[in-house]
Amino acid sequence: MTTFDDREHAFEAKYAHDEEMQFKAQARCNKLLGLWAAGLMGKTGADAEAYALEVIKSDFEEAGFEDVLRKVSGDLQGRASADEVREKRAALLPDAKAQVLSDNG
């Protein structure tokens, strides 16, 4: 194997790892957002965890965050605006990334 091949394989492995970490961070962020929303709806314990799982699953409907935004905003029924949900998610993303990194560290 040549040096070029080694570098190519290393780049591909790094790319795959980075994509996996990004996916995990997005899922963790959606879970945290779901737990936050569950709290606003008065859900606790297992009910809050189940709702957070629903939020995670809602992200598989389409690419991007809009599917999650629709679910959470709709479920909150005016307890928080779509802009507040977006702001909360943006605030939670760094925490989610840190949690994923610490889980894999």
DSSP 79: S
Q: 70-94 pLDDT, tens per residue? A: 999 999 999 999 999 999 999 999 9
In a domain, 17, yes or no: no
> The pTM is what?
0.85
For 78, the 3-state DSSP assignment is coil
| Contact yes or no for 30/56 (Cβ under 8 A) | yes
pLDDT band at 105 (very low <50, low <70, confident <90, very high): low
> Minimum mean pLDDT among 8-12, 26-30, 89-93, 101-105: which range?
101-105
Q: 49-69 pLDDT, tens per residue? A: 999 999 999 988 888 889 999
CATH assignment at residue 87: 1.10.790.20
Domain count, the chain: 1
Q: 14-55 pLDDT, tens per residue? A: 888 888 888 899 999 999 999 999 999 999 999 999 999 999
The tokens of 36 are what?
Answer: 């936050």
The stretches of 1-105 forming alpha helices (DSSP H) are 3-40, 45-58, 66-76, 82-103
In a domain, 2, yes or no: no
CA angle 21, 65, 62 (to 5 degrees): 95
| Residues spanned by the domain of 78 | 22-103
CA distance 74 to 100: 28
